[in-house]
Amino acid sequence: MAGQRSIGQVLSVLKSQFPDVSISKIRFLESEGLVSPERAPSGYRKYSEGDVERLRYILRVQKDHYLPLRVIREHLDMMDRGMQPPPLETPHPVPAAPGPEPDQAPVSAASASVPAAAEPGPQRPQPPLRLSRVELLRSSGLSEAALVELERQMIVVPRRGTGFYDRDALTIAMVARRLADFGMDARHMRAFKMAADREAGLIEQAIAPFQRRGSSGRTVSADVVKLVGIAHSALLRTAMDR
């Protein structure tokens, strides 16, 4: 039928505006009932112009406003009934601010952000964090049940010998909350942890000769971790584009 596209053609249309979109992401949104393309007799999906616009709306509000799927579904239901969804505020970048001092509560979940991979080189160290369990839940937006499962999998843990959580625990908790909007839970996070454990073992083997020669183990380890993180992100993007 004229005006209908295959999923590959839809991906090509959306890529210019949403570079991170993938076929698996489009299929996930369909599995969540947010878009319902027709099926050809052969079983292939056929997307109408309305389906493409619907996908464009979903991806835009996720990208610009970080709306969870539950809220997006409510907006789409209103649109299906001929109603206007609630207006969304134009997002404004939050200026970077110094991290909290030790023993201070973190910034709120609304203004906290997941840090991107840093380029290798000198970096200004961030002050340490000491978060209670209540502060971690409040700052990350995780539910109690989700945190319990992450702790059971040894993915989010307090600092050794303490009952406090550090900056890395907060980052992992925030990522877990964001990934939940895409249907990913502690099982997926466990797979990421296992991959990170393997990478850590490789890094330890690689830097051992430098440490034996008297190089600063902490500096060498930090530089290699940054480089591996950058390579890992690029390799993952390459794999998703295949």
Write the DSSP symbol of residue 141. -
Write the DSSP symbol of residue 47. B
Question: In this predicted structure, what is the pLDDT of residue 2?
Answer: 53
User: What end-to-end distance do the CA atoms of the chain give, in Å?
Assistant: 28
Question: In this predicted structure, what is the pLDDT of residue 214?
Answer: 62
Give the angle subtended at the CA of 200 by the CAs of 164 and 202, to the nearest 5°.
170
Flag whether pLDDT at 100 surpasses 60.
Answer: no
Give me the percent of the chain exceeding a pLDDT of 90.
17
The structural domains of the chain, ordered by start, are 7-81 (1.10.1660.10), 128-184 (1.10.1660), 188-241 (no CATH)
Q: What is the mean pLDDT of the chain?
A: 79
If you average pLDDT over residues 65-80, what whole number do you get? 84
Flag whether pLDDT at 123 surpasses 70.
Answer: no
Lowest mean pLDDT among 52-56, 88-92, 160-164: 88-92
Neighbours of 71 (CB within 10 A): 15
- What one-character-per-residue DSSP string does 8-48 give? HHHHHHHHTT-TT--HHHHHHHHHTTS---EE-TTS-EEB-
Torsions phi, psi of 208, nearest 5?
-55, -45
Residue in 176, 183, 188 with CA at minimum distance from that of residue 24? 183
Residue in 38, 36, 8, 2 with CA at minimum distance from that of residue 21? 8
For residues 100 and 190, what is the distance between their CA atoms, to the nearest angstrom?
Answer: 29
Distances in Å between the alpha carbon of 18 and those of 62, 188, 239?
A: 11, 24, 17
Taking only the tens place, the pLDDT of each residue in 217-240 is 567 777 888 888 888 888 888 887
Question: In this predicted structure, what is the pLDDT of residue 217?
Answer: 53
Flag whether pLDDT at 154 surpasses 60.
Answer: yes
Question: In this predicted structure, what is the pLDDT of residue 96?
Answer: 40
Find where tokens 């993007």 sit.
237
Question: In this predicted structure, what is the pLDDT of residue 114?
Answer: 54
pLDDT band at residue 47 using 50, 70 and 90 as cut-offs:
very high
Flag whether pLDDT at 78 surpasses 90.
Answer: no
